[in-house]
A and B are shown apart, each in its own frame.
Chain A
Amino acid sequence: MSRLYLLDIPENEPILAVARTIAGAEVIEVGPYFAICSSDPISIDRRATGVRHAVWYSWVAGLSGWRISQWDKDALTVADR
Chain B
Amino acid sequence: MTSLHDEHLVAGVDHAAFPTFDPAGTVRFYRDTLGFPVVHSICAAGWGAKDHPDFIHFFFDIGNEDRIAFFYYFGLEGPDLTQGAGDVYARFPEGTADWFVRSRHLALHVASSEELMEYRRRLDASDWPVEMQIQHETIESIYTHDPNGYMIEFTRALRPVEPQEDLDANLTIDALVEVVQQPHPTMDKLLVRKAELIVQRAEKWQEAQQAAVSDEVRR
By a beta-carbon cutoff of 8 Å, the part of chain A in contact with chain B is 3, 5, 7-11, 30-33, 51-55, 60-64, 67-68
A52 to B136, CA, bound (A): 7
In the bound complex, do residue A68 and residue B138 qualify as a contact, i.e. CB atoms below 8 Å apart? no
In the bound complex, do residue A3 and residue B195 qualify as a contact, i.e. CB atoms below 8 Å apart? yes
Q: Which residues of B contact A51 (CB under 8 A)?
A: 137
A80 to B204, CA, bound (A): 29
A62/B165 contact (C-beta < 8 A), A31-B202, A68-B188 known: no
Instruction: Select from chain B the residue with minimum beta-carbon distance to A3.
Output: B195
In the bound complex, do residue A62 and residue B195 qualify as a contact, i.e. CB atoms below 8 Å apart? yes
In the bound complex, do residue A31 and residue B137 qualify as a contact, i.e. CB atoms below 8 Å apart? no
| Chain B contact residue count (CB 8 A cutoff) | 26
Q: Which residues of A contact B195 (CB under 8 A)?
A: 3, 5, 61-64
B173 to chain A, nearest CB (A): 13
In the bound complex, do residue B198 and residue A33 qualify as a contact, i.e. CB atoms below 8 Å apart? yes
A67 to B188, CA, bound (A): 7
In the bound complex, do residue A63 and residue B192 qualify as a contact, i.e. CB atoms below 8 Å apart? yes
Q: Supply 7 A–B pairs (Cβ within 8 Å), ascending by A.
A: A9-B162, A30-B199, A30-B203, A33-B198, A62-B194, A63-B195, A64-B199
A60 to B205, CA, bound (A): 19
Q: Which residues of B contact A53 (CB under 8 A)?
A: 136
By a beta-carbon cutoff of 8 Å, the part of chain B in contact with chain A is 136-138, 159, 162, 164-165, 167-168, 171, 188, 191-192, 194-199, 201-206, 209
A61/B168 contact (C-beta < 8 A), A11-B138, A52-B137, A68-B188 known: yes
A28 to B206, CA, bound (A): 15
Q: Which residues of B contact A7 (CB under 8 A)?
A: 164-165, 168
A11 to B159, CA, bound (A): 11
In the bound complex, do residue B136 and residue A5 qualify as a contact, i.e. CB atoms below 8 Å apart? no
In the bound complex, do residue A10 and residue B159 qualify as a contact, i.e. CB atoms below 8 Å apart? yes
Q: Which residues of B contact A67 (CB under 8 A)?
A: 188
Q: Which residues of B contact A68 (CB under 8 A)?
A: 188, 191
Among all A-B residue pairs, the 4 with the closest Cβ atoms:
A31-B202, A62-B195, A54-B136, A32-B164
